[in-house]
Structure 1
Amino acid sequence: MSRLLAFLLVLGLIGCDGGDPAAIFEGEVAGVEIGDGPTYVSLRAAARGATAVLPASAAATTQWDLAFDGAEVRLNGGSSGPGTAIGVVLATPFTSVTDALREDVAYRRDGDSPCFSGPPRAVCTGPGEGLLGETDGQIVPVLGRVLLLRLADGRGYAKLQVESVMESPGGAPRLAFRFALNPEGSSFEE
């Protein structure tokens, strides 16, 4: 009887993969270098516990959701990549964004949306815009901003807030952000 119980317990643990695959994931990513050239980031990979930063060879795929290139943020869709990512930057607390499908927001696609300064992007860069800015030649987060985006594969949504930008020992800026991801839907509430 105890062997049967032990076997069933082990079988139950093997069958448990950490929860429902459509469950909402919340986490943080730190140390993302945003220096020379685009840094491609997969939020799905980060949610699985894998490395969030992808190699440059991923640029022509839908594996990445967003890319950081200095203070510029690109989404994998439109003119920036083959994906279907769209996004919008909100001036609101991270915790107040509970659903991605909101009537009060208009999503934008890279290449289709004019910006005050810089190329047409869903996430503009410039004074008072976007997630990142520049002050005295240093990249800084724009506080109180949340990026709401549909993932590159078009199946889920995420919200993201840059928490800090630090200079690495090598001199390249590295950022840290927190995010929530619903891999199959739009709600960020359990």
Structure 2
Amino acid sequence: MTPTTPGAARVELAIGGMTCASCAARIEKKLNRMEGVEATVNYATEKARVAFAEDVSVDDLIATVEATGYTAQPPAPPRPEPGDTGTPAAAGGEDERADGELRSLRQRLVTAVLLAAPVIAMAMIPALQFEYWQWLSLTLAAPVVTYAAWPFHRAAWTNARHGAATMDTLISVGTSAAFLWSLWALFFGTA
């Protein structure tokens, strides 16, 4: 890699789709493989700080990140603070997107907890095990493994398409294997 010169351009990219620190490491590695590019990616802030040579464009950087399986965009221009120009600050699309993602994750978490709690109770407390309780457990567990875990399955699939394994892969494979084994035991075993 050719080191960048002191007059090299710099940009901070907003990175989307990272779910763990290994995602940040993959993006950083791909960017640093580009000729004339030095990058650091921060998972916590979802940002990449990139210094690049004149022959590299911001579009090239974004294309590299997207080819890795994530999204990238230059940061939005700073919004004026209320009172700076006499007008209130514009509604932030990024803030609304983050709120929507959090709302979706919270809904999935609540769904998982409400459905998994009776399954765990029936499996652990013999007094709660009535005839055919396993079928109720299957009915309650299926949405947890599919709907509530969908972000993990989606991220694992995306990473698999790019030849990578992350923590999402571990979670997706683990929950899928446990669910499929439970189905086998229910239909063909002694459960």
TM-score by length of 1: 0.22
More strand by share: 1
More helix by share: 2
Work out which structure has the larger RCO, using CA pairs closer than 8 Å and 6 or more positions apart in sequence: 1
User: Bigger radius of gyration, 1 or 2?
Assistant: 2
TM-score by length of 2: 0.22
